[in-house]
Structure 1
């Protein structure tokens, strides 16, 4: 039986869901092993070990050190000033996991035997990876192999393994060959630039030795001048094994142990592997490196595996206490969230010399580089759950500040600092500047992270000692790449940058960049004033050292105040950049084109010429810095950008999910949450084998806390507005805040807050200020988002709301259908409802006997209109729906403006016939718009004509397309008619006579009614 076949006879995945603390896999298919090696990888922020099998020889198994990387020159056919000169690539180091077996003289080759039972398990409480294999050799010997490992949080880089082999039916000698392997080199890059690289050099062995106690290898990189020592030692359990020999292997070193097996008998040893390394060009001698590894091994040997495991469990206790996570009714999601948080925590640096790479320390994707997502995605999760880790990530940025200054000079900035787009050492490693160096927004991400950390932790000392310098130096760059533009009324405009959406490059006024730069500049100016007031000596010394003048600080404030943040009047959205809305949309891809992103299929210029987003861009700006943007405006931007975003980046789904929750799109919030939650567990993007997606993992926590929990930090204040997904009975999460801890429990009755740690915490629940002392709890009701602005106008639809002309339209279309021999039924009539004349004609012609030219279509439109106009000539006030006139008059009596938004080009004529034309302040019909409902244009045009903001408007409609149009415009929606059809409306009325403007002014909509609608009288007579 081969490995593929054994997967069919193994027990089903059951235990994984019974225990939300343990993630298990029982897949014995080698094709899935590379993904599982990523999923079961262990790390401590310095050392990462993929979850391979000790006795296996997987080509994708590897060990990594955050501090071990090679520098390779970047070759250009045409090189210009400022282009990145080299790339840093994190490379595999010596692998200390290897343990090969022999039964007698026969080597155990797992692929040649029968896998009778196999399971991997990652215990999230203990931080340990366990696996068990019941294996039968081709000769009939059956073994049970148990292995468990940890990567210690207590040591700089220590791997500990407990390894046991038990005989089921074998009698005879067994040999365990424990080795340190140097055979693994960096993966070569194929056709996907995200995976692998071309490394010039790499690690070469400069010393190796093996004895009866320890064995070691010493390696050195060719160009980065980093040396790495790896040493191993063993502890034999119950004298089950004896040392046989030690020697040098072709690729590494080996120590060999022998024992005897009989049915039911086991041999067990513990293997400890320690690593030490230098900084590039470090002064540590080889002897000092080896002494450090030897010291770590001595301590590990003295403690023993059980003690190390207990210490590992204790190290994770604080994380899980802060996370305080539980979901009643959904153990699968609870487990996945814990799994994601565990990986972010263990992959994040703790020594201030590194951050969190895009793939953590779980694989070779993206060369081990740090990007802006470390600050924008991973750090917020750590701020709430492990603030010390977040501080360490920022200390890495401070440690590379001089390299950021050097990069700024490469980019022709005389002062300031520009952080590298992708890096390990601090130097820019992106060879493609349009989507690399041009992403200046990384400076704003670092600045945002500093403020977020300080607000949440209260660590003012960090801000004073290192944060202020980072803020000031990075803020200087904005004044270089932008200017006060007289052609835009003196607004501060930023030029030729690339935002988070890498499918749009080198643009002016990228909204994300401008909005985040505004926050950065404002914060830098505020911190300068704060530091001058609270620590004048420190401020004076820093200002002297970096040459900071008062005029610069004033310029930062002025640029922030005058930052150009355009809003499109027609669509009511923030354009992603100055030209984004002028481009055609990218044609939809067919379902058979697979998971490959556009960047692997099309030339960049082809992508740049289209209105298409790789990931959230403008929406992310509204999430991170949109405190002053109304919920209605956020909804309009959400609706628009959702249509043009392909989510080729795993960073994207969490932002859309959080924003969906905020704007009331519950179903979409859940779908996006699931996408970001299980990116790696379900391998949704098909590349988890190359390492896990740290930003997506962090995004799943953001979806919980920021999305469903409504968490935001505004002006240093914690704010929450929790909601409960339909799929859950209740849930709980925790937030570390200001040296305290807040537990948030949400169920169907409301929200309960408890301070579990800290003297006193202040926060807001749905805008209401709350103050709690340690041990105190308070229960509060759910509160929907408050209306952003007072009601100023009501915009009515005409057909079906003011007068029921639908039957007249229907009769006219039915007559036309009869004329041309096209079918006409209830389904077609319903689809036409709320649609303009051309759109309705296209629906009618879908099943017409033959095709029509554009000229012929115009003739048909005119014919249908003539039928309609002839019928409405007999209309008068009697054809108003009952209560329509009083509804409009009540709006005017309340001092509000009235508008009409009708898809009919005959709306002015009909209003005149009905005798109510004078009741409307502004009328928009199909002749004034380009897009028909459900596009928001018609309601946005009405708001513009009325001179009011869309979020101050209430729309009244009888068609589903009309309700969608109102909501897309960011207005409140009232439906008139069938509740099942108009379900998205805030309120649904049986008929317009039930309309009560005072309820909407007071923010208390009517209860929904679902009885049949009121039918009007109609003008009689044949068409």
Structure 2
């Protein structure tokens, strides 16, 4: 098990303090179980946006250790059995390069094998103040020699390709020779593509060694990719201290090594400082090895001249600006403060600084997702960087501008004669997804880039970027919406966007995806506004750009017209935004078997078509649209959407939790805000998705900062101004964060007394607090009341107009008859049938019940056989209910229905039975019902809401004007999904989700349930 403590590297190792306080600036782990080392290699990885080195132990050859360069990737053809026009032709894969984070040891002639000795004490530490990874191991060899090995490393934030390692071995009781073998290894290849498409890759080609040299002063290897034409050099030099001298240098089977020897005595130590530099070419650039070697040597010369202590001090200085802008403090929760700082550090260090790349999904911490860039960078990471490290946000968007021609080519591949379409997943800028329904069809990537441009310019005031790069990207990508959308006469001439896939990849190729439409609307408005601004304020630049991209004079008018007419419907029954035109018509996804791996996403268990046919969301989709562009939507509507989509979202993506945290805070769900915040906060620290070993989840890490600042802090951008509405969670006494806005830095401190706003930089700043403009001046802090975090009240319910009853178990006990019929059928076909199986069938229609029964069958059945079996069961059932009469009504059932009618309310029946009408006739109560909806009138069984929605529609009333009465868990879920209050009949423990539970139908009192309906509904909503 891991523990956290503070142990400075240069002190004697104390006894482990299991209760040591958490230092929010230091992540420290103890433990010697190799099973967790691959995850730790990700957690303790260091990077600078160009170079990434996983957190290995220098003495061990870990199979999961890797060194990565953002600019080094291989191009592999995609093989299709059936290729159609416009399919992606190749994929780009970031591949491990020569790894120099290795220093092997020998004591005399015996190699030090850590797995063969005794680990007396081990700890790793990530120091967030100076960006160093250090670790200490006290180890006893099988022969009884005890060593203390200390290592510290940095990946320089000043020098793009520089790794520096400070390595020290101290003897506790050993006397004799010691050898340090410092190597550069080229043995590591890219991880293979297994069943999980998120991990590894299939590489055609890769890196080969083209040259190598090992001498006393310098050792290096040169490598070259097979297809992408990228060359690199990795070179190393050393400084040493103690009784340590250079012995020899040599070429190895896979790389080079330099060997140092010395003598140890108890209490003595030897020290080796290792400096590694990487230089690389652009694809197909053909830079000669001599040129690359000269660049690497120059970096090493600088590093040697400075020395390790000075490099470490520079590292701390580089990070100090980030921590000053983040200005983070949480009183009462140091673990959360530490996790937030840890996540922010990784986002910062993995973001490109040279505009030749952006932030990959796994950063530079592992090989997951092949090192690809996604829309995550603009939607989750850039908002964090824009207010804390704007130069990195600019570099991210500049890379998009550099790949604009690739986006233009991609648009032509998809038959768009004008405009640009950014790739969904890429490294080079070309589309790398071989599955277009959830790849190229995600046109919303264009809107993400446009949204990020607007946010960056608002936050930075960098109009020069807009003129030089941003406007051209906005215009070219906006053109695509007019290519894939049209003004639909069938939808009142609204602008509709066809055949796209939204962020929820469990629905694909849909019309009018709400997220896509809403973000496209924002994109089109922004493109038109920027075109007008350029024409008025910068006419020369506007004219030059218009000529270069053949921009028509009327295009901005067309964009504005499409934006105003964008189709964003509200479902009349549920009063929510449909995720797409067909989403709400689908059945909900049935529960997966309990035997399935709990952390394995549905995409690894089910065929895509199975996912597409159900209401199931991989991640936030509609809610993300409301978070990014929902300022015109009122809080009550956002809450309705939150409550509905929470019920159909499985959070298989680590992107999801942060959006739910932000939106839960906005609509007033305090407990859910905390739960989702913790999910995005600790997704890698606690390995919540089971794949942190393959790299950290950068968007989730950035999402934790969004959950703090956008969620608890209420941060948004309204009219180009920062808008805040801070809330104080119950778990914290106070918290603080900062944000950079143009030339000012704003500190936000929230405690029980309210919010204190302070300018720590700049002379004045205008912002919004709880929707009202505020003007803040330097030296004049502003104290305002906190918005508060009381649970928001649900919208008032309209008067009750109808009650919809279930049949089985509520009005008559037909479950016994069903049970007997199914048991008889089971005996005939030799399938086991027990009480548990019968319980699972409650509330489920005939075909669904048959599928449950046949799960235990030893053979498969054809569709014709299943149809015949269902008919046989129904014959047995009908034979029994033919003998039913009024005496078979449950006690109080007739009275309950008559009470409803006498109260002037409408009455309906919603039964999964196809024989409901016959039963009502036999029971003598058919004339008491205004409407009967049974399985003959619906296509989807409970817990889908269709049957209750159909009953409300037939009665001519709104769903929230109805109350449902049910005895089954599936029925209660169906009622709630329909937006109705639910009365449960049966045991309270089994029907805990109902708004009101009665022991039996005889306890039904219409006055009581009507009086308590609002309170019960509010209780359920909370």
Map 1:452-467 → 2, pairs under 5 A: 452-467=455-470
Q: Is the 8 A contact 1:273 1:297 kept in 2?
A: yes
Q: Secondary structure at the match of 1:755?
A: strand
Further displaced range: 864-873 or 181-190: 864-873
Map 1:851-866 → 2, pairs under 5 A: 853=877
Q: Secondary structure at the match of 1:97?
A: strand
Q: Is the 8 A contact 1:150 1:161 kept in 2?
A: yes
Change (3 A) 1:206 1:870: closer
Change (3 A) 1:588 1:154: same
* Deviation for aligned residue 1:18: 2.0
Partner of 1:201: 205
**Unaligned runs of at least 5 residues, structure 1:** 1-8, 800-804, 823-836, 840-849, 881-898, 906-923, 974-980, 986-990, 1010-1023
Out of 682, 687, 692, which is 1:683 matched to?
687
- Give the distance between the partners of 2:96 and 2:323, measured in 1 at CA: 31
Q: Secondary structure at the match of 1:209?
A: strand
Partner of 2:422: 419
- Give the distance between the partners of 2:280 and 2:377, measured in 1 at CA: 24
Please give the per-residue CA displacement for 1:184-219, whole angstroms capped at 9, x wherever unaligned.
111111111111111111111111111111111111
* Deviation for aligned residue 1:600: 1.4
Q: Is the 8 A contact 2:569 2:578 kept in 1?
A: yes
Out of 697, 700, 704, which is 1:696 matched to?
700
Are 1:773 and 2:781 matched, yes or no?
no
Q: Secondary structure at the match of 2:150?
A: strand
Partner of 1:322: 325
Map 1:784-863 → 2, pairs under 5 A: 794-796=798-800, 853=877
Q: Is the 8 A contact 1:797 1:956 kept in 2?
A: no
Please give the per-residue CA displacement for 1:391-447, whole angstroms capped at 9, x wherever unaligned.
111111011111111111111111111111111111111111111111111111111
* Deviation for aligned residue 1:247: 1.2
The TM-score with structure 2 as length reference comes to: 0.81
Out of 756, 759, 772, which is 2:760 matched to?
756
Change (3 A) 1:207 1:691: same
Are 1:379 and 2:382 matched, yes or no?
yes
Partner of 2:491: 488
Q: Is the 8 A contact 1:792 1:948 kept in 2?
A: no
Partner of 2:255: 252
Partner of 1:428: 431
Are 1:615 and 2:619 matched, yes or no?
yes
Change (3 A) 1:14 1:697: farther
Q: Secondary structure at the match of 1:98?
A: strand
- Give the distance between the partners of 1:434 and 1:417, measured in 2 at CA: 19
Change (3 A) 1:773 1:424: same
Map 1:340-419 → 2, pairs under 5 A: 340-419=343-422
Map 1:313-712 → 2, pairs under 5 A: 313-594=316-597, 595-712=599-716
- Give the distance between the partners of 1:946 and 1:738, measured in 2 at CA: 55
Please give the per-residue CA displacement for 1:663-683, whole angstroms capped at 9, x wherever unaligned.
222222221111111111111
The alignment yields a C-alpha RMSD, in angstroms, of 4.4
Q: Is the 8 A contact 2:105 2:179 kept in 1?
A: yes
Q: Secondary structure at the match of 2:554?
A: helix
Please give the per-residue CA displacement for 1:286-339, whole angstroms capped at 9, x wherever unaligned.
222111111111111111111111111111111111111111111111111111
* Deviation for aligned residue 1:582: 2.0
Q: Is the 8 A contact 1:37 1:51 kept in 2?
A: yes
The TM-score with structure 1 as length reference comes to: 0.81
Partner of 2:749: 745
Out of 126, 144, 150, which is 1:146 matched to?
150
* Deviation for aligned residue 1:251: 1.0
- Give the distance between the partners of 1:770 and 1:101, measured in 2 at CA: 63
- Give the distance between the partners of 1:536 and 1:903, measured in 2 at CA: 67
* Deviation for aligned residue 1:284: 3.2
* Deviation for aligned residue 1:775: 3.1
* Deviation for aligned residue 1:865: 7.8
Please give the per-residue CA displacement for 1:611-640, whole angstroms capped at 9, x wherever unaligned.
221111111111111222222222222222
- Give the distance between the partners of 1:647 and 1:592, measured in 2 at CA: 19
- Give the distance between the partners of 1:858 and 1:683, measured in 2 at CA: 58
Q: Is the 8 A contact 2:97 2:207 kept in 1?
A: yes
Q: Secondary structure at the match of 1:207?
A: strand
- Give the distance between the partners of 1:380 and 1:658, measured in 2 at CA: 14
* Deviation for aligned residue 1:384: 2.0
* Deviation for aligned residue 1:116: 0.8
Q: Secondary structure at the match of 2:99?
A: coil
Map 1:176-195 → 2, pairs under 5 A: 176-195=180-199
Q: Secondary structure at the match of 2:133?
A: strand
Partner of 1:286: 289
Out of 306, 311, 325, which is 2:309 matched to?
306
The total of aligned residue pairs comes to: 920
- Give the distance between the partners of 1:928 and 1:755, measured in 2 at CA: 63
Further displaced range: 442-451 or 198-207: 198-207
- Give the distance between the partners of 1:527 and 1:111, measured in 2 at CA: 62
* Deviation for aligned residue 1:464: 1.6
- Give the distance between the partners of 1:712 and 1:941, measured in 2 at CA: 41
Q: Is the 8 A contact 1:926 1:932 kept in 2?
A: no
- Give the distance between the partners of 1:747 and 1:982, measured in 2 at CA: 36
Out of 253, 269, 273, which is 1:270 matched to?
273
Q: Secondary structure at the match of 1:520?
A: helix
Partner of 2:50: 46
